[in-house]
Amino acid sequence: MLKAKTQKTILLVEDDNFVGMAYKDGLTRAGFLVENALDGFEAIEKAQKMRPDLILLDLVMPLKNGFEVLEELRKDKTFSDIPIVVVSNLGQESDVEKAMNLGATDYVMKNQISMKQMVERIQKYVKM
């Protein structure tokens, strides 16, 4: 996948089509190039192919969950400097702690953040 020098790429890993399209629309409007993955296997495959500037990762997905994806990507040295922001509805302290211990850069509750706030959060990790 080719990308313009000024446009940063985001791999959006979200199995809910409606949520995924809403995020993709908002992030595209903010100037990001967004690629979707619908499950954990597709997420790893696309991450390896495209080497995104940032990954937004849901935790509850079919085939391979977000914790497994996070663990697998962080074991690969080529992904050590790519920010991975978990975006989930799982709000238990144990879930947040597990994700952070596996190498998540940040943890965001889907139902507690606006698109504007999400874009601002992403811009902290990806210099435009």
Give the pLDDT confidence of 79-125 residue by residue, as tens digits.
Answer: 889 999 999 888 788 899 999 999 999 999 988 888 999 999 999 99
Domains of the chain: 10-123 (3.40.50.2300)
State both tokens at 85. Answer: 């922001």
Reported pTM: 0.90
Long-range pairs of 124-127 with CB within 8 A, sequence gap ≥ 24: 125/54, 125/83, 125/85, 126/8, 126/10, 126/32, 126/53, 126/54, 126/83
pLDDT of residue 5: 52
pLDDT level of residue 128 (50, 70, 90 thresholds): low
Distance CA(128)–CA(122), nearest Å, equals 10
The pLDDT > 70 percentage for the chain reads 95
